[in-house]
Structure 1
Amino acid sequence: MVDLSRKFDCLVIGGGNAALCAAISARRSGASVLVLEGAPKFYRGGNTRHTRNMRCAHDAATDILTGPYTEQEFWEDLQLVTEGQTDEELARHMIRESKDILGWVVEQGVRWQPSLGGTLSLGRTNSFFLGGGRAMLNALYLTAERLGVDILYDAEVLDLDIDNGMFLSADLKQGDGRVTVRAATLVAAAGGFEANIEWLKQYWGEAADNFLIRGTPYNRGSILKMLLNKGVQEVGDPTQCHAVAIDARAPKFDGGIITRHDSVVFGIVVNKHGLRFYDEGEDIWPKRYAIWGRLVAAQPDQIAYIVFDASVRNSFMPTLFPPIEAGSIAELAGKFELDAAVLEKTIAEFNAAVRPGTFDHTILDDCRTEGLTPPKTHWAQRIETPPYYAYPVRPGITFTYLGTRVNKQARMLMKDGKPAANMFAAGEIMAGNVLGKGYAAGIGMTIGSVFGRIAGREAAQNARN
């Protein structure tokens, strides 16, 4: 049993990668630590359970990485996907710190494996967790427990007592009552508000009813809202988020990574009217996969269809749901209640515009369309080999970018611009500092690990002082 009558040095709210990195870092710095995970034990870990990899800068190839990925290249990739909407000082600080994270997480029990294949193209840039995100999470929990970190599950926080930027205590639901937990410092690592459909609808309107939530149903943004209401400065556009195209047959919540589609570059994407609406070959997939959720969200009824043929059926990583198959384009259209004549025309025009080249999905190849709007800039191949296939897709929201503003010490900043006295943040709840928009594969875990480690270390030092 956890003794809630004592005053802890550090209270960590959240139970995913960022929270555990903070808890371990604080404990290794000598602090007493209590972790409050709002989910039941089986569902602990927030979105970390569904992850596969992390993007870190490194100067040379390793056993699991095929070559160097310099700080400058990482920065250029981040600038590209965010279109410059990032805090450069914080982002460069995170990238610099990420070089140490590859070894640090191994010291906490996490193991790496060689990169996966398919359309990921991440063998040089991203490290993959052996056993996936849940295995990574279990390793961190085991280390935290061995170090003496106290952990409570089903720990719903009802209120935070904050006085002029100073955290004093948290009220916790216990059975039918509530208990007050005191701590010298607070680390908020409780995720975004993506599972709160009503909050999403404030910015997206009724379209949000058609969004699917890839991650945990427990990230409802309650801690974020409390902090913002109590004087913490916000950062980020509330409509920006990590949103990918996922299978329309996926569950409303917690479908995870196995519902994501990596097949876009091998075919075309049409809306409910049978029309293409964006360049499927704009850039390497890990730099573009996270724009497709927002693209689909902007289409009528928030639905789209990835269409391809038998020639590429086995070229990408399979998902939980098999594609819908048909012997002709007209038959395929009928299975989705699309206008067959329109879909046939769309594909005929696409095929006529394809200019042959040497296909290679790992590089920006020379297979393109000509005279077509929108174009397909790379990886354009004629769709002409039956049977034909399609996946129905909807916007799959992973996490939102509205969050708490922080400095390089992961300390929250108040609305007046001053640093909070004893409050820190890590992970998705502050990701908007780095991600103003867009996404690059694995960077969410980078943000969580780097700022979690910093937040825990700084919180422990703050508690000592």
Structure 2
Amino acid sequence: MTDGLSGFDVLVIGGGNAAMAAALSAREGGATVLVLESAPKDFRAGNSRHTRDLRCMHDAPTPVMSGAYTEDEFYKDILSVTGGKTDEKLARMTIRASTECTEWMKQYGVRFQHALGGTLQLGRTNAFFLGGGKAMMNSYYAAAEKRDIKVVYDAEVVDLDVVDGEFRSATVLIGGRTVKVSAKAVVAASGGFEANLEWLKEAWGPIADNFLIRGTPYNKGKVLKRLLALGVDSVGDAKAAHMVAIDARAPKFDGGIVTRLDCVSLGIVVNNKGERFYDEGEDFWPKRYAIWGRLVAEQPDQIGHCIIDSKAMGQFMPSVFPPLEAQSIGELAKLMMLPVDAVEATVKAYNAAVQPGTFNHETLDDCKTVGLHPEKTHWALRIDKPPFYAYGLRPGLTFTYLGVKVNERAMALMKGGGRSRNIFAAGEIMVGNVLGKGYAAGIGVTVGTVFGRIAGREAALEALNCEDRVVAKEEVAHYAAS
């Protein structure tokens, strides 16, 4: 199993979208490539197998996206969700390079759906994979096999040998044996540390015990932690994360996207005291859904409860689990095991504050409340048509933002202002350069694809010591230019 792991030009650590984009890109550049995936084959591809789309800039309709989504609008969306915590140069470079993503992915067998319509608000901004993220990743792995990219599963990188910013080898646990794997360049694309429960508790304290991990249990953050210990500069902080509100009945790990709840903007959310705590109609759901995980995490016992009525049913993507159902708010409160009087009072006050308006879930409509704290600013409809429904909400952690700092070549930067010589990074392990906080649907796959391609190409050039490196720099500069 451990034979034939020497002599490769580029080592890619990780097995998700960013890793395979890097591997394929490095192979395009003529490099020999080894991919180390810590998961078994049946669970390969990390969080990428749970994805379904990527966000792309385009100035006109495409076969898979409607309308136009300009650079400035895309960047405003990033500013909106991050509150300005982004590297503008790298963010705009990502946006510009996203125009090429779908066509590049199609070369490797990835197929896309036609542009979506309806309440998701994503048909104009996002391209959706036909068959979802698992189909995308299966296409990548099939393409890698055809191109003689070697993939080793159940291969956990437990240490790195880096001297003065130069990668020399990785220590890998394979089949119970420890193996040294050397390469001329390395791409770290092994994700964040969201599956490392002890590290989460170091950052968040005991409330982390109530977090559910939406994705792979294999993202332990060992490569990230080792790189930071070896002098690679960091970006972001340990509490920054893509965290959404998911069904409280989801499993501890790997529940995936089907456990997400998209009904919040159509109802109200209360905590264990039966009290509302945030504006459910602040903005379109694809831009604001990712704030709700942290909001729920800040509530007692890290749980919330979304309450809707019959008018809302059928207007959102349902969870994999059915809701609680009752003919009255009081009966529903009992099913939720919440104080009945408090829940009834909250719903009564909310209904009284709802103003007349024209409901339209595809616009920032004029259906709002007046006189509440907090107000509901859009899509406020009275909760008055039985049966009534409720979903329990828990913080669902997707990935963490603490990562390694990179430049426009995806090269890891060292503490003190220097740069590594042959260490590159892509995907969740460096997403904090673009997303300091918050999230907009599909942008994680975009960052992974763009920086995966750059990291793979640059690693190949570094490994092969090509004179073409100057050409690659000019290509990067095209996207990085202001």
- Assess same fold via TM > 0.5: yes
Match in the other structure for 2:43 = 43
Match in the other structure for 2:186 = 186
State whether structure 2 residue 383 is matched by structure 1 residue 387: no
Task: For 1:122, give the aligned amino acid.
Answer: L
CA contact (8 A) 1:118 1:316 kept: no
Task: For 1:333, give the aligned amino acid.
Answer: A
Which whole-Å CA distance do the structure 2 matches of 1:139 and 1:185 have between them? Answer: 25
Q: How does 1:132-171 map to 2 (within 5 A)?
A: 132-171=132-171
Q: CA deviation at 1:368?
A: 0.4
Which whole-Å CA distance do the structure 2 matches of 1:270 and 1:399 have between them? Answer: 25
The Cα offsets for residues 86-108 of structure 1, whole Å up to 9 and x where unpaired, read as 00111111111111112111111
Secondary structure of the structure 2 residue equivalent to 1:382: coil
Match in the other structure for 2:278 = 278
Q: CA deviation at 1:5?
A: 4.9
Which whole-Å CA distance do the structure 2 matches of 1:25 and 1:422 have between them? Answer: 16
Q: CA deviation at 1:6?
A: 2.5
Match in the other structure for 1:351 = 351
Q: How does 1:352-367 map to 2 (within 5 A)?
A: 352-367=352-367
Which whole-Å CA distance do the structure 2 matches of 1:83 and 1:46 have between them? Answer: 28
Match in the other structure for 1:267 = 267
Task: For 2:237, give the aligned amino acid.
Answer: D
Q: CA deviation at 1:4?
A: 3.2
Task: Count residues with an aligned counterpart.
Answer: 465
Q: How does 1:199-278 map to 2 (within 5 A)?
A: 199-278=199-278
State whether structure 2 residue 297 is matched by structure 1 residue 297: yes
Q: CA deviation at 1:2?
A: 6.8
Which whole-Å CA distance do the structure 1 matches of 2:434 and 2:391 have between them? Answer: 32
The Cα offsets for residues 276-330 of structure 1, whole Å up to 9 and x where unpaired, read as 0000000011000000000000000000000000111111111110000011111
When structure 1 is superposed on structure 2, of 394-403 and 310-319 the one drifting more is: 310-319
Which whole-Å CA distance do the structure 1 matches of 2:254 and 2:415 have between them? Answer: 34
Match in the other structure for 1:327 = 327
Q: CA deviation at 1:117?
A: 4.8
Could you list the runs of 5+ residues in structure 2 that have no partner in the other structure? 466-482
The Cα offsets for residues 364-396 of structure 1, whole Å up to 9 and x where unpaired, read as 001000111100000000000011100001000
Task: For 2:383, give the aligned amino acid.
Answer: I
Secondary structure of the structure 1 residue equivalent to 2:155: coil
Task: For 1:58, give the aligned amino acid.
Answer: H
Match in the other structure for 1:434 = 434
State whether structure 2 residue 309 is matched by structure 1 residue 309: yes
TM-score by structure 1 length?
A: 0.99
Task: For 2:58, give the aligned amino acid.
Answer: H
Question: Percent identical across equivalent pairs?
Answer: 62
Which whole-Å CA distance do the structure 2 matches of 1:315 and 1:77 have between them? Answer: 24
Q: CA deviation at 1:177?
A: 2.3
Secondary structure of the structure 1 residue equivalent to 2:73: helix
Secondary structure of the structure 1 residue equivalent to 2:58: coil
Q: How does 1:387-406 map to 2 (within 5 A)?
A: 387-406=387-406
CA contact (8 A) 1:210 1:302 kept: yes
State whether structure 2 residue 11 is matched by structure 1 residue 11: yes
CA contact (8 A) 1:243 1:290 kept: yes
Match in the other structure for 1:108 = 108
CA contact (8 A) 1:11 1:183 kept: yes
When structure 1 is superposed on structure 2, of 170-179 and 262-271 the one drifting more is: 170-179
Q: CA deviation at 1:15?
A: 0.2
Which whole-Å CA distance do the structure 2 matches of 1:263 and 1:215 have between them? Answer: 21
Match in the other structure for 2:70 = 70
Which whole-Å CA distance do the structure 1 matches of 2:66 and 2:357 have between them? Answer: 27
CA contact (8 A) 2:10 2:184 kept: yes
Task: For 1:37, give the aligned amino acid.
Answer: E
The Cα offsets for residues 388-447 of structure 1, whole Å up to 9 and x where unpaired, read as 100001000000000000000000001121110100000000000000011000000001
CA contact (8 A) 2:37 2:153 kept: yes
The Cα offsets for residues 6-53 of structure 1, whole Å up to 9 and x where unpaired, read as 321000000000000000000011000000000000000000011110
Which whole-Å CA distance do the structure 2 matches of 1:252 and 1:411 have between them? Answer: 34
Q: CA deviation at 1:172?
A: 1.1
Q: CA deviation at 1:348?
A: 0.4
Secondary structure of the structure 1 residue equivalent to 2:430: helix
The Cα offsets for residues 235-267 of structure 1, whole Å up to 9 and x where unpaired, read as 002111000000000000000000000000110
CA contact (8 A) 1:118 1:317 kept: no
Secondary structure of the structure 2 residue equivalent to 1:208: helix
